[in-house]
Amino acid sequence: MTITTKSPKETHNIGKLIGEKVKPKDFVALIGDLGSGKTTFVQGIAEGLGIKIPVNSPSFVIVKEYQGKYPLVHVDIYRLKNPIDELFNIGFEEYLRREYIIVVEWADKIKDIFPENNLQITFSYNGENERMLSFIPNGDRFIKLIEEVKQCIY
Ligand code: ADP
Ligand code: MG
């Protein structure tokens, strides 16, 4: 599934739709260059989960936790040289084991540790206010989730 958005708000709203549907242990992998809309999308997910405090790109922290309908873990590994090693050093596998929703920016750097079931979203820049979001659902649960999202937007 591919969606083109024409404003930050539209990207936010697609994120919100996903945020309304995700469940603990879901893993959402965001891939795309700086400024392609990943954090904007995470803010939408947070709104969909009813999270009230603002979500922004963690500058020095790698992982931030938020409490909503379910707990959200927002990971940004942009600055990490050896992201898999550094994530394991901070005990990231605990997050994978527990009842969190995990959303990772720059997730292409840690493809080797993706859970089998995951939702992969690639963001690309199509012009100043236009972004393209390509969704790849891996596993039955995400295939179904994306079918539901399609019905909401098309
Ligand atoms: P990333 O986390 O991928 O670096 P951000 O979400 O932080 O990206 O930034 C995206 C930037 O692009 C913001 O300044 C936002 O206002 C702008 N923008 C313009 N059009 C869009 C769009 N359609 N979707 C998302 N962001 C957009
Ligand atoms: Mg970001």
For the chain, what are the domain ranges? Answer: 8-124
Q: Is the pLDDT of residue 61 over 80?
A: no
Q: Is 126 in the pocket of ligand 1 (CB under 6 A)?
A: no
Task: Give me the pLDDT at residue 95, please.
Answer: 95
Tell me the CA–centroid distance for residue 39 and ligand 2, in Å: 4
Name the closest ligand to CA 4.
1
Task: Give me the pLDDT at residue 59, please.
Answer: 64
- In this prediction, residues 5-30 reach a mean pLDDT of 98
Query: What does the block give as tokens for 37?
Result: 């809309």
Tell me the CA–centroid distance for residue 90 and ligand 2, in Å: 20
CATH topology for the 8-124 domain:
Rossmann fold (3.40.50)
Q: Is the pLDDT of residue 113 over 70?
A: yes
List the residue whose alpha carbon is closest to atom 7 of ligand 1. 39
pTM, rounded to two decimals: 0.97
- In this prediction, residues 2-12 reach a mean pLDDT of 98
Contacts (Cβ under 8 Å, ≥6 apart) of 68: 46, 49, 50, 51
Tell me how crowded residue 96 is: count the other CB atoms within 10 A of its CB. Answer: 15
Burial class (CB in 10 A: 0-12, 13-18, 19+), 139: middle
